[in-house]
Structure 1
């Protein structure tokens, strides 16, 4: 609980298209208020939504990706081989999670679609595809995956090209080579410029935003009362975990509490492995991981997570005076 200067609540988004920061801030705040009510604390909703409880910010870096993405292509520009491998790894993780939900032996249409996607992914990842060839073949995989009713109806992508383009943002952010490293630095700067080191801070990050927040908070010099990660790919082995900076991966030193939430139906998260594979800070803080359960196949949205009492309760408690 905070009893000093007016605290900050900062939202850090994940993959996707160009965003309107104020609209997103209101949507995330509305979902969080729903979760606060579910947590049995309706008396704090007005204080939260009116800004009395905290200064609520939405750290928007979406234009740093979409400016280059406007021309088309897998990511608006050809991915280098390392970035293509990250995109392939993300799709492989998604297919693995979907296979658990729809095993081949079930014989359902969904299971057949997933097996087709796996076959295409295996073909795309084998052999020499030439520059950009793997990226183009990975679009075939996303085309197949979007035949799944849950993804087609619940996800945010109009087509497979957009699906691949947005997933590739993870690869582009994690690129450390030459000029491309500047993109990651610019993204982190967008987050850090929203933070005031002299005030208490709660950070709620989602998807790629958890990777961004991980690295940004390692640079941050102010106190972080609570860091919440939602639908995080941080523990996706060689795809994300081994590319994090600093290495070896550890909890940022200024974080007081780290809560990580994953949904069983969220097909792009590392689930409980995050708590095992990222070391504690020098003060012993490490991720405390807990599952939540949402309806539907596609649960990888920040607002679905924020509506859960398990997520919203600790956030509002950390902000309350």
Structure 2
């Protein structure tokens, strides 16, 4: 008996239009299951691309159901195209049999797709009693969309007939295009007002797998004869894919499993460019929201948050949970009985967190009783062979820069550990590297100063401009989110006009206060110049390697742009076998690792957790334009604490000064960071 999952994704179809984000969806859901919900790696199987055939999927379902028993969690996830064919057996009120398009999709070959009947007969209809099955479908089976006009705009640059060209969600594409162009308002963008942008998203100059503004639809239109037969048989469109046999007739309360679908029956599921790569909007926001919420979140609460995130992202789809209001955690779990005799669902991951919490409580109780543990080990001695390393960000830093960090943290540590780490240069160390970049000059600072013949200057100026644009865009988005607005089509009121003027003034002040904006050129030197990078990394090694060679425990707190220095420095140690110590916790705080142009220049850039690190914790405060979420983007972060309250920062019209938010982590009054995160993980 075990928790098991089968995850399927197809980007490159044999004969129908391609998609772009399905393989990323599979990887994202797998990370969610294994890192947050306690599924073993060996019990999560994936089928990708040409392996997604009917034979392999049916075999996967048999494996999924084999030996399943009460309390076992089973998951089936599909990311790819959906469609429909005419209902031939009369069990569908709308005259349609919905289907999943497999790799070799061919309308003349029933073995190249999975019907809703197949799912009922081979999966849900054979589900052992008591097993908990969750079906995730990121595809669609109807809805309105616009055909991509030019075959040259399809994923394959040529060879795709007009009738097989991808469908585009025009409204979502234009909404996101204008949001990226900083023209977005609180009211939805009206398609009729945006004809000038039509060709950009429907007939792009680049292939669709490179067209970031274009939102593709995960739907393939059936041939004309199939559409005619379905129309003759049916009425109101109502998908029954993934539901029980009775579900086709809307008796969904009798379902023996839970279905999470990417959209309503008459909507489309989006395949779009999100957070520096292509994803299914539903799969992406489901995973991100589940990570932020934790394993204990209930399905209804989670889906409400997912719908909100998708709407905020500029998409029009509304993911569905069936049976509606299905209680319990996302993937179910083994039942335990509470004090009132009621059954609660606890996942293995939550059990692990509960054990960790009990251990922390025990440690604090032992400390209060005099510092001796049950086996006679002094808690005071937990500071032995311990070191805490700080890594600063850009702009000038001098020795002692981490003293304010320590003053905010130290009151929350046990006395023994506090004494062990109290001395700068002893248990507490600093990596100093700003002098290596502030003393260098590599050339042009703006595109206007670049000569065409100097490729190094051009690369430098381009990267600097890209980073500055990301920071400014993040601040402007915060302004947009805080902007007062009325209903769509409502004329501006005097109050809203005054509010907009105030926001304009606040925006100007906020942009000038972006942390490190004046020093971005310093860090560009690190990213561009291999010599500078090697010297900075040398400083990091000088501090960290001797500590790890001593077989002790090192904890690293890296802030801002220093998170890049620390991450690359720790990854560079992956191949060194002589290091006997470990990095207990790697804290990335207000991490520049979240910035797209920086991510693309990381070495290495796969986002893996450094091998010497036991736990990676990422923190981000509300209003901090440098930091952001890292989990799965592509980083293997263990814990994230996002949208933290920026202690001692004033809010004006809902805005927080970016520089204040970026430094708020190290304020003495910020117990949410220093006590609840830093101290918690340092005392593990």
TM-score scaled by length of structure 2: 0.34
Deviations 1:24-80 (A, max 9, x none): 1322212333xx54xxx585795366349x7111110111012225x99749x9872
C-alpha contact 1:7 1:319 (8 A) present in aligned 2 = no
For the residue of structure 2 that corresponds to 1:290, the secondary structure is: strand
User: Of residues 429, 436, 450 in structure 2, which corresponds to 1:57?
Assistant: 429
Deviations 1:94-139 (A, max 9, x none): 222222222277523443685xxxxxxxxxxxxxxxxxxxxxxxxx
Aligned to 2:291: none
Aligned to 1:312: 674
User: Of residues 370, 388, 391 in structure 2, which corresponds to 1:9?
Assistant: 388
Return the alpha-carbon distance in structure 1 between the equivalents of residues 591 and 393 of structure 2.
9
Aligned to 1:120: none
Structure 1 pair 300–88 and aligned structure 2 pair: CA distance change class (3 A): farther
Return the alpha-carbon distance in structure 2 between the equivalents of residues 187 and 301 of structure 1.
26
Aligned to 2:611: 253
Aligned to 2:300: none
Deviations 1:198-233 (A, max 9, x none): 221000001110000110001234411000001112
Aligned to 2:500: 107
Query: In terms of Rg, which structure is larger?
Result: 2
Matched, 1:289 2:667: no
Give the total of aligned pairs: 259
Return the alpha-carbon distance in structure 2 between the equivalents of residues 305 and 275 of structure 1.
20
Return the alpha-carbon distance in structure 2 between the equivalents of residues 46 and 5 of structure 1.
11
For the residue of structure 1 that corresponds to 2:390, the secondary structure is: strand
Return the alpha-carbon distance in structure 1 between the equivalents of residues 640 and 478 of structure 2.
21
More helix per residue: 1 or 2?
1
Aligned to 2:633: 277
Aligned to 1:117: none
Return the alpha-carbon distance in structure 2 between the equivalents of residues 192 and 247 of structure 1.
20
C-alpha contact 2:592 2:626 (8 A) present in aligned 1 = yes
C-alpha contact 2:564 2:593 (8 A) present in aligned 1 = yes
Return the alpha-carbon distance in structure 2 between the equivalents of residues 42 and 98 of structure 1.
39
Matched, 1:89 2:440: no
**Equivalences for 1:119-130 in 2 at 5 Å?**
none
Matched, 1:205 2:558: yes
Matched, 1:194 2:543: yes
User: Of residues 231, 236, 251 in structure 1, which corresponds to 2:590?
Assistant: 231
For the residue of structure 2 that corresponds to 1:68, the secondary structure is: coil
Aligned to 2:522: 169
Structure 1 pair 300–57 and aligned structure 2 pair: CA distance change class (3 A): farther
C-alpha contact 1:218 1:252 (8 A) present in aligned 2 = yes
C-alpha contact 1:260 1:288 (8 A) present in aligned 2 = yes
C-alpha contact 1:202 1:225 (8 A) present in aligned 2 = yes
Deviations 1:140-192 (A, max 9, x none): xxxxxxx40x565x6778xxxxx43x1122321111xxxx2010111111111
Return the alpha-carbon distance in structure 2 between the equivalents of residues 310 and 156 of structure 1.
22
* Shift in Å, 1:248: 2.1
Return the alpha-carbon distance in structure 1 between the equivalents of residues 553 and 414 of structure 2.
23
Structure 1 pair 50–224 and aligned structure 2 pair: CA distance change class (3 A): closer
